[in-house]
Amino acid sequence: MRAYECPSCGAQIICDEYTASTSCPYCGNNTIVPAQFAGTLRPDYVIPFQLTKDDAIEKLKQFYKGKPLLPSAFKDQNHIEEIKGMYVPFWLYNGSVHVDNEYHGTRVHTHRTSREIVTVTEHYKLIREGTVTFEKVPADASSKMPDEFMDAIEPFDYSKMTDFNLSYMPGYLADKYDVSSEEDAVRANRRMKNSASTAISQTLVGFAGAIPEKQDIQIKPRSVYYAFLPVWMLSTQWNGKNYLFAMNGQSGKMIGDLPTDYGKFILYFVLISLAGIILLFFLLMGGHF
């Protein structure tokens, strides 16, 4: 933990060693820790917030809609405990992936003769080779942020990305990275490899099946950038349990945990099962009761 003096009221602010931007709990003044932006700790880029706190609250209400298994009382009885606008540290990776794969493919043809139905199966050796180039593949660099949440609120519009400047920090929280670019590269490389492999396999059209027999996937990393991306974090409480939500501070895309009304779940299951039984009975009766 580190202690800093609020430049506004002089109170002592206690925060962890990774805090880069925070607010004084006594006077509410925004405080930036300059040392966290010095030298190599200074981000290359930042995407400014496009949505406000009120937008985040409204998006949360919309997120509740269309969830049939959500308890009816949840929307009315839960209260937002905390809402924070945060610049989350991200590593952005450039690289290319070369794929050289072989597959066993089949094509099946069927024709009739006067006496029988003939099925012919053709076997092919399929060779696919190509290179896929990636730019700014993101991986959050904070161990405090749930990776699955940060992945789910993508994509960010990089056309709005600009060179980093401290003037974007006041009013928002920020932590410097605590996951190195070398550690995060494992996630980013895996993501690039999977995407490249999928792109190559999508060229296998016109075959009944295509089973991989050889896979040679080589990644060539090029450059990595350090960026702050805008995220609203919301937490709400209901029935003594906390629920966490994350929202893209640029696009408004939201992800989060929601409770399930198991009474509704059973009711929907019974109704769907009953409808299926009635439909099956109707079909067995040849369309006549």
List per-block mean pLDDT (blocks of 10 residues) for the chain, which spans 289 residues: 70 76 72 79 95 92 76 63 91 96 92 89 93 96 93 95 93 92 95 93 87 92 96 85 91 86 62 74 63
H/E stretch holding 189 reads: helix 181-201
| N-term to C-term CA, the chain | 75
Q: How far is Cα 31 from Cα 7, in angstroms, rounded to an integer? A: 8
Amino acid residing at 22: T
Q: How far is Cα 97 from Cα 65, in angstroms, rounded to an integer? A: 41
Q: How far is Cα 37 from Cα 96, in angstroms, rounded to an integer? A: 30
Can you give the pLDDT at residue 172?
Answer: 92
Can you give the pLDDT at residue 139?
Answer: 97
215: tokens are 């896979």
Cβ neighbours, 10 Å, residue 37: 18
Q: How far is CA 1 from CA 70, 209, 233, 278, in A?
A: 39, 57, 22, 65
Cβ neighbours, 10 Å, residue 139: 23
Can you give the pLDDT at residue 262?
Answer: 56
Q: How far is Cα 241 from Cα 130, in angstroms, rounded to an integer? A: 50
H/E stretch holding 81 reads: strand 79-112
Q: How far is Cα 126 from Cα 103, in angstroms, rounded to an integer? A: 5
